[in-house]
Amino acid sequence: MATINPERLLATFLDLVQIDSPTGQEAELAAYCKQVLEEAGCTINLEALTEVPNGNSGNVVATLPAFSGVVQRDGVAVPQQPRPSVPLYFSAHMDVVEPCRGIKPQIKDGVIYSDGTTVLGGDDKAGLAAIIEMIRCLVEAEAKGEAHPEIGILFTAQEEVGLQGAKALGKEAFRDAQGALCYVLDAAGKPGLVVNGAPFHYSYRAEFKGVAAHAGIAPEKGVSAIKAAAQAVQALPQGRLDEESTTNVGFIKGGTAGNVVAAACLVTGELRSQSKDKLLAHQARIEEILKSSPVEDDTRAGAVEVTVEWKANYEGFFAPEDSPQVELAMRAARKLGLEARTEISNGGADTNVFSSFGLAAVSLGCGMDYVHSTEERLVIKDLENLARWALAIVRESFG
């Protein structure tokens, strides 16, 4: 039975983090991933490599064909009959948040850091490296007659700016794989952690339109959109709304000059909830507040117009502990001696998108720590355990 090669795995990770791949500029990294997967025996979906909007690269989508295995009978290698199965998907994203150019990885006491001027890029190149190593191990195991199911590989672009690469794949691409298990290697926490739920996420733009006037000569002729927006924001709920829901005002912009009553003001915000029903109820309340807040002492009723536009950024998901995708990952983790556990996240990932496409998706803890900061680090042992875990999930699924 082939096992992971720790030296090769580490070398792959160090290669990956030293390839610049800020969001929207993943082309060089995509070419690297395409090459190593092809060399390992995967077929590449060339259509997926076409550009995702606002970037120089698309997604790397690959398939490792199923292998039915070989047994020895009287000294003769006999191929096994093909087993019916649906693909088992593994995913990670290629883009990295800034500052991520010219990463210089440092290793000290079994931990990988950047040099302190950039992020490390373990989010999510730990996931990429582990999946690549898992594929290489499966191919090596084929030479020893070991069977495995078809493996689908989904390396996405522009995850960090609203899961754009995953969305670009489209539901139609998974029409024949409904219910297939999908593991997204992109969560903080030690390997063994299964993120089995994440929220619905909506955002809004509220545009306030008042009446401009000279603030010194004729202020009474103006109606301040900024004042109306400020009163609305003051009335809005903030932070944690209930045990499953949060909201935030993120951006306010208005006015043209200090001596002009502001005719326009823009307010943006977000709303998250694990419950769709609660999200819709909070959405209605927020919209009512935004549209109904008056301007104090305003004698020109109706002078402030408010329009609110909502965007569904992604749908939520929840997988019970006895669901196939969670149970398989937990069983594989326990066999490796990892601490198997579940957690609900209030952040989104490609997992949300793949779940909405009909895949049975969850996220896996990768060991990444202090992500999105120049203090980011990754314990080498966690990277190794992540690759072992991915490999164990495949073997458990086909045992």
CA distance 249 to 165: 26
Q: What's the chain look like in SS3?
A: CCCCCHHHHHHHHHHHHCCCCECCCCHHHHHHHHHHHHHHCCEECHHHHCCCCCCCCCCEEEEECCECCEEEECCEEEECCCCCCCCEEEEEECCECCCCCCCCCEEECCEEECCCCCCCCHHHHHHHHHHHHHHHHHHHHHCCCCCECCEEEEEECCHHHCCHHHHHHCHHHHHHHCCCEEEEEEECCCCCEEEEEECEEEEEEEEEECECEECCCCHHHCECHHHHHHHHHHHCCCEEEECCEEEEEEEEEECCCCCEECCEEEEEEEEEECCHHHHHHHHHHHHHHHHHCCCCCCCCCCCCEEEEEEEEEECCEECCCCCHHHHHHHHHHHHCCCCCEEEECCCCCHHHHHHHCCCEEEEEECCCECCCCCCCEEEHHHHHHHHHHHHHHHHHHCC
Q: What tokens appear for 199 in the block?
A: 């929220």
User: How confident is the model at residue 83, as a pLDDT?
Assistant: 62
User: How confident is the model at residue 336, as a pLDDT?
Assistant: 97
CA distance 17 to 119: 10
CA distance 40 to 185: 20
User: How confident is the model at residue 47, as a pLDDT?
Assistant: 87
Strand partners, 152: 63, 89
User: How confident is the model at residue 144, as a pLDDT?
Assistant: 86
Report the relative pairing of strands 88-93 and 70-73 from DSSP bridges. unpaired
Q: Which residues contact 353 (CB under 8 A, 6 or more apart)?
A: 163, 166, 167, 169, 314
Annotated active-site residue 159? The verdict is yes
- Among 123, 124, 159, 382, the active-site one is 159
- Among 95, 124, 133, 244, the active-site one is 95
Computed on alpha carbons and rounded to an integer, the radius of gyration of the chain in Å comes to: 25
Residue ranges, the chain, pLDDT below 70: 1, 70-86, 293-302, 399
Annotated active-site residue 95? The verdict is yes
Q: What tokens appear for 137 in the block?
A: 């191990």
CA distance 40 to 9: 14
User: How confident is the model at residue 77, as a pLDDT?
Assistant: 59
